[in-house]
Structure 1
């Protein structure tokens, strides 16, 4: 047979590269119930669709060439639900998936192709960080020319999974991603536990340094925490199903589940008549949007506002909804950060926005001010003013103060509609009586009630509609049909569903 020697060498080299860190290390991961880097790709990608790039890459250090198959990072192209994506899966069994000159080049190639050809990028993170001693010395750390290594202009969606110990570039790509999912038990931080302990001269608890609770509840960097690798990869697949492949196309359209909207009549059973009673807004959202389509982002962070991707009549929408179940729906600085990043996501990838409003205003107090409440509120407003996709605002029960504007009122949405249950005002009339007149209900019940009636005048949905501040007053049970119809009116026909992307360089983390 011709080229017999060459074929044998090719097969031997390929087999060695595909063997990763060896049977022992792979068996250890299997025993831990954790997928290896290639198994993760196989779980995410459509069967047989993975096209590898850089399989024969190895360490630039001669003594490490035989110990670094694929140089610790597996890269290539695959199809997810039939659409092409770029994937980088860190192989922790090879030198801890540490970053080197060769595998950084592999990652750079993937990003370059994904950007040029309109492919989403998926980073499956697990890494010890930069490879030492490769990066030691002035020449190593100062060399190269990579000014665009961490540039985000949102040409295509970036998705990241934290699936083990993630330091260095794995943590950077988690922060840069449009969607970040984290397996419980994984850790992500600037530097490793060992290095951090040395720096501060004390033992560091891994969960305190960079565990899932920290990043879902405190930093807000992680959108979703899950129990297994498999759940994380399924979440990535689901997230991508709502987004276009690139910023110059409209999101995909999916079939409408047959039971969507059939229980819309239950909205009036869920919404309390009393404005002081709480409820979980998710129960209402599930009645309005396509059945099973609500995909919430950052559910454990800024919990007084729900941000979620969903579908209406098969089309992707972004939902920003007040949730009175937490803090009565009062908006705190974390909620502001969460909504601002969500506005940027939706506008960058041509997803119309729907605000579902039931909020008593911004949460006031010393803690909020120390967290930069003023700046967070204005960041939200700045982002909102730059949104170029359709914006629809639905006033459900109450909306007070500056937050009326943040939630799309006062001309900040393309269409404003109120349920007949809505009340719109500068502040809660009960508080207004005390602020303006200096009395409480306990001071003088009769006078207080008289002033309360005065403060509550001209605050109904019909009063707002009378001046065209509200474009329609509807029965809450008609919300799904109304939104489908009005979003069709506001569909971006002239640009083929593509917005202006005025926030394409907005920071992903701030």
Structure 2
């Protein structure tokens, strides 16, 4: 065969591989309003930057080579807003993007580059699960377990999963292993499909109830963000990546500070009700403090009495952990513990300083919490907090009582621990405290009760805490933004170039 003939064969095979599952399947996807995998890649990466690796792969099973271009999973690298990013993108038009020996080698290849060379990895997920009958019997199963690092995460570089359709098998596993997951409304995340689940258990559960976006955004917390369309989900993913470094040994990118940032700081105290029993939305205070009033919230529909978000101060990425009295008075639940702990791990793993804004009556106690192992989750949170090595700046805005005082960064758990003059600090809230200490309720002796309420209320003000240096200082609310910028600069570790020790790098990604 001449050189010309070989190049002609190359072009012919390349055209076939680029054709995915064929024109009929591609037309069906288009009619259903779904992008095909190559359209997704084209949208996600900067124009002309994607370089595929493994284009000529196919199934290892004889007789299936022609019908399995790329073996249903496309791997490669490109630029996202000018920065290199790896991808594993599933092609549902080829065997339902089912997992098989060839494509699992490709996944391992992409993962190894991510971990060894320090590049973010994005999974564009949509898959039917394990390929049948390839995985049946001792021969099929004998291929498994040959890579003991397959499900190991040490957070060398960020991983993001984007769920864009039915996600069973590997798509679900890598979602649970990722640092961040983004889910399209209408996508499904589950161990197995409803059909397999029904065969195995007898349950006839609709897909949305089994693993729809509401299940994972509101109940399990496995999903960090939700989008209406495929494009929106990929845009959110680009946003997330913009706050993160390319790997654990770099700092997040610094950006220009938007004009007008902090312009409303002199009005910030107006957002906090004078009566601590009144609700308000902490997100409004966050917007006034951070650059451009912009932040990207993680798990906004899950454990709503607390907020976890990525934002910027003076152009630098920060992670915001805040109580939100708008929901449940800001009382911390078992789910809040999981949400905040996982966010501490994310920030510490990728050198993102943490800002805590505190206004909580404490932990939500009772039967429901105990049945959710809240005791263990509180201590998991404390363990993670004690292992954080990036700067933590904590501001008590309103009330903080009991164990929550410690969990929300009290004392030496923070690099800087300050309060507004509006802070209330005590072992428990005033009303239950009066009942416990003096054995009196409001209805017993209203006049005496009000007298004790005033006395104990004065004791909860922050001045005594600052007096013994239990608080680093008390700050004027209007000066909060500039104070925090100064403290970020002070606590930047010049000995390590701002890189943390990553003591949480092997913390479970989901639990």
1:303 partnered with 2:304: yes
Quote the residue 1:340 is aligned against: 341
Q: Distance in 2 between matches of 1:355 and 1:461?
A: 17
Quote the residue 1:244 is aligned against: 245
Q: Which shows bigger deviation, 299-308 or 449-458?
A: 449-458
**Once the 2 structures are TM-superposed, how far is the Cα of residue 365 of structure 1 from its aligned partner?**
1.1
1:200 partnered with 2:206: no
**Once the 2 structures are TM-superposed, how far is the Cα of residue 292 of structure 1 from its aligned partner?**
4.4
Q: Which shows bigger deviation, 442-451 or 136-145?
A: 136-145
CA distances 1:254-295 after superposition (whole Å, capped 9, x unpaired): 111101111112212211000000101001100000014300
CA contact (8 A) 1:419 1:474 kept: yes
1:233 partnered with 2:243: no
**Once the 2 structures are TM-superposed, how far is the Cα of residue 2 of structure 1 from its aligned partner?**
6.7
1:15 partnered with 2:18: no
Change (3 A) 1:56 1:381: same
Quote the residue 1:210 is aligned against: 211
1:153 partnered with 2:154: yes
Q: Distance in 2 between matches of 1:509 and 1:202?
A: 25
CA contact (8 A) 1:404 1:410 kept: no
Quote the residue 1:372 is aligned against: 373
Change (3 A) 1:458 1:439: closer
Quote the residue 2:85 is aligned against: 85
**Once the 2 structures are TM-superposed, how far is the Cα of residue 372 of structure 1 from its aligned partner?**
0.6
Quote the residue 1:64 is aligned against: 64
RMSD over aligned CA atoms reads: 1.2
1:5 partnered with 2:12: no
> Matched residue of 2:297: which SS?
strand
1:94 partnered with 2:132: no
Quote the residue 2:48 is aligned against: 48
Q: Distance in 1 between matches of 2:370 and 2:213?
A: 26
CA contact (8 A) 2:344 2:384 kept: yes
> Matched residue of 1:48: which SS?
coil
**Once the 2 structures are TM-superposed, how far is the Cα of residue 429 of structure 1 from its aligned partner?**
1.3
TM-score scaled by structure 2? 0.98
TM-score scaled by structure 1? 0.98
Q: Distance in 1 between matches of 2:323 and 2:120?
A: 30
Q: Distance in 2 between matches of 1:125 and 1:438?
A: 59
Q: Distance in 1 between matches of 2:93 and 2:293?
A: 38
Quote the residue 2:496 is aligned against: 495
Q: Distance in 2 between matches of 1:121 and 1:406?
A: 32
CA contact (8 A) 1:336 1:376 kept: yes
Q: Which runs of 5+ in 2 are unaligned?
A: none
Quote the residue 2:439 is aligned against: 438
Q: Which shows bigger deviation, 412-421 or 459-468?
A: 459-468
**Once the 2 structures are TM-superposed, how far is the Cα of residue 451 of structure 1 from its aligned partner?**
2.2
The number of equivalent residue pairs is 510
Quote the residue 2:104 is aligned against: 104
> Matched residue of 1:248: which SS?
coil
> Matched residue of 2:320: which SS?
strand
Quote the residue 1:353 is aligned against: 354
> Matched residue of 1:456: which SS?
helix
> Matched residue of 1:424: which SS?
strand
**Once the 2 structures are TM-superposed, how far is the Cα of residue 86 of structure 1 from its aligned partner?**
0.8
1:122 partnered with 2:122: yes
Q: Distance in 2 between matches of 1:365 and 1:291?
A: 40
Q: Distance in 2 between matches of 1:316 and 1:202?
A: 45
1:381 partnered with 2:382: yes
CA contact (8 A) 1:193 1:206 kept: yes
**Once the 2 structures are TM-superposed, how far is the Cα of residue 437 of structure 1 from its aligned partner?**
2.1
CA distances 1:327-361 after superposition (whole Å, capped 9, x unpaired): 00000000000000000000000000110000000
Quote the residue 2:26 is aligned against: 26
**Once the 2 structures are TM-superposed, how far is the Cα of residue 453 of structure 1 from its aligned partner?**
2.9
Quote the residue 1:289 is aligned against: 290
**Once the 2 structures are TM-superposed, how far is the Cα of residue 475 of structure 1 from its aligned partner?**
1.4
For 1:340-489, what aligned pairs fall within 5 Å after superposition? Answer: 340-489=341-490
Q: Which shows bigger deviation, 207-216 or 462-471?
A: 462-471
Quote the residue 1:172 is aligned against: 173
> Matched residue of 2:362: which SS?
coil
Q: Distance in 2 between matches of 1:24 and 1:143?
A: 33
Q: Which shows bigger deviation, 443-452 or 306-315?
A: 443-452
1:190 partnered with 2:205: no
Q: Distance in 2 between matches of 1:140 and 1:492?
A: 51
Q: Distance in 1 between matches of 2:149 and 2:47?
A: 33
CA distances 1:3-53 after superposition (whole Å, capped 9, x unpaired): 211111011000000010111211221222221111111111111110101
Q: Which runs of 5+ in 1 are unaligned?
A: none
CA distances 1:65-109 after superposition (whole Å, capped 9, x unpaired): 110011100110111111111101000011000011000001100
Q: Distance in 2 between matches of 1:373 and 1:320?
A: 19
> Matched residue of 1:64: which SS?
coil
**Once the 2 structures are TM-superposed, how far is the Cα of residue 411 of structure 1 from its aligned partner?**
2.1
Change (3 A) 1:357 1:200: same
Q: Which shows bigger deviation, 489-498 or 336-345?
A: 489-498
> Matched residue of 2:358: which SS?
strand
Q: Distance in 1 between matches of 2:233 and 2:151?
A: 23
> Matched residue of 1:463: which SS?
helix
CA contact (8 A) 1:154 1:504 kept: yes
**Once the 2 structures are TM-superposed, how far is the Cα of residue 476 of structure 1 from its aligned partner?**
1.0
CA contact (8 A) 2:101 2:143 kept: no
> Matched residue of 2:378: which SS?
helix
**Once the 2 structures are TM-superposed, how far is the Cα of residue 57 of structure 1 from its aligned partner?**
0.3
